[in-house]
Amino acid sequence: MIPNSKVVVILGPTATGKSALAVKLAKKLARHKWGGFNGAEIISADSRQIYKGLDIGTGKITEKEMAGVPHHLLDVVTPKRRFTVVEYQKLAREKIAEIFSRGHLPIICGGTGFYISALVDGTVLPDVPPNPKLRAHLKKETSETLFNMLLKLDPRRAKTIDPKNSRRLIRAIEIAKVLGKVPNLQLTTDDRRPYEAFQIGLTLPPEELKKKIAIRLFARIREGMITEAERLHKNGLLWKRMEELGLEYKYLALFLQNKISKSEMLAKLQTEIWHYAKRQMTWFKRNTRIKWFKSSDTSKINTAIQNFL
């Protein structure tokens, strides 16, 4: 590990309060100087908040909510192009180095398990270039067909992937066809990891999480999520690309094309976001290094981080 390599990770399924906790911890650390750090800065680990303009639908933290704490890797690229985990790994490592140079603690915060693993586990990502011919063929297939193809090629990867995300399914099939399977990217030895990471997982009882997902969804509708999607399309984001971005944007695109009603959109989203949260937990539970807390366990979390630092 590199000198001064301690980082804190706040992860967990959607709607568990990760962003708010990260800001609270950063402000507390700035006051108390735990571990000799003069402050903290937050690096997003969210595969959709990386895109400009995907604000309300992704629950992107607002400037007011940041409360003066520096945030990084939000609004990096246009959603018209695809941003890869390799690009994320490179940019996040650069940001971590900058944060260390200021005597601050990096706090990685988000729910994209693949991004977090790539960053804190020193994952070597598969060097499989895009196959345009294969992609053109696979894009004609439904997500259900793609999932069944992956299930035959690599059952292990099929257990952790979003079965309705055609883009990720195509990439997994692409890798599996070249390598035989999507490699297990989790490293097992601490000496090969680039950072000493304390990973905090936030969890809620299932019924409480379902309720929070529903409340947050309707709040985002009131905040203008539909108008945001209309604006994105007006500014050149194709419906097909919006659907590829998944969850809120997929069903907003279908609604705005009059393919589903508003009530169907809301019902579908509540179900799909809940299924997404369960997939996130499936991913995270494979990682035995994560220390799990309830969202309300603030004092326990503070003590654990103070001891770590």
Strand order in the sheet with 291-294: 71-72, 39-44, 104-109, 6-11, 196-203, 291-294
Q: Which range is least confidently modeled, 91-105, 187-201, 243-257, 266-280?
A: 187-201
Distance between alpha carbon 277 and the CA centroid of its chain, in Å?
A: 11
Q: Read off the pLDDT of residues 178-189 as tens digits, 9 standing for 90 and up.
A: 877 666 654 445
Buried b (16+ CB within 10 A) or exposed e, 248-260: bbbbbbbbbeeeb
126 pLDDT tier (thresholds 50, 70, 90): low
Structure tokens at 1: 């590990």
Give tens-digit pLDDT for 254-280.
999 999 999 999 999 999 999 999 999
For residues 79 and 158, what is the distance between their CA atoms, to the nearest angstrom? Answer: 26
pLDDT at 84 (0 to 100): 86
For residue 174, pLDDT beyond 80 = yes
- What is the arithmetic mean of pLDDT over 202-228? 96
For residue 190, the model assigns a pLDDT of 57
Task: Name the residue with higher pLDDT: 276 or 167.
Answer: 276
Residues with Cβ within 8 Å of residue 148, at least 6 apart in sequence:
none
Between CA 247 and CA 164 the distance in angstroms is 10
CA–CA separation, 303 and 35 (whole Å) = 12
Q: Give the list of residues 6+ apart from residue 52 with CB closer than 8 angstroms, or none.
A: 75, 76, 77, 78, 79
Question: What distance separates the 2 farthest-apart alpha carbons in the chain?
Answer: 57
pLDDT(192) > 60: yes
Q: What is the mean pLDDT of residues 20-31?
A: 95
Question: Left, alpha or beta for 146 (phi > 0: left; psi -120 to 50: alpha)?
Answer: alpha
> What is the secondary structure of 43-78 as a DSSP string?
EE--TTTTBTT--TTTTPPPHHHHTT--EESSS-B-
Q: 3-state class of 142 per DSSP?
A: coil
Kindly report the CATH number that applies to the domain delimited by 207-279.
Answer: 1.10.287
Q: What is the CATH number of domain 6-125+191-205+289-308?
A: 3.40.50.300
Mean pLDDT of the chain: 91
Query: Which conformational region is residue 112 in: left (phi greater than 0), alpha (psi within -120 to 50 degrees), or beta?
Result: beta
Q: Is the pLDDT of residue 197 over 90?
A: yes
Q: Which of 77-91, 183-197, 264-278 has the lowest mean pLDDT?
A: 183-197
pLDDT of residue 129: 79
- Token output for 23: 């800001």
Task: Please say if the pLDDT value at position 51 is more than 70.
Answer: yes
The mean pLDDT value for 69-98 works out to 94
In 10 A of CB 74, how many CB atoms? 19
Tell me: pLDDT of 1 over 60.
Answer: no
- Mean pLDDT to the nearest integer, 136-140: 90
Tokens of 181: 């399977």
Residue 279 to residue 273: CA distance in whole angstroms? 10
Question: Alpha-carbon distance 273 to 287, whole Å?
Answer: 22
What would the mean pLDDT of 147-162 be, rounded to a whole number?
A: 89
Global pTM reads 0.85
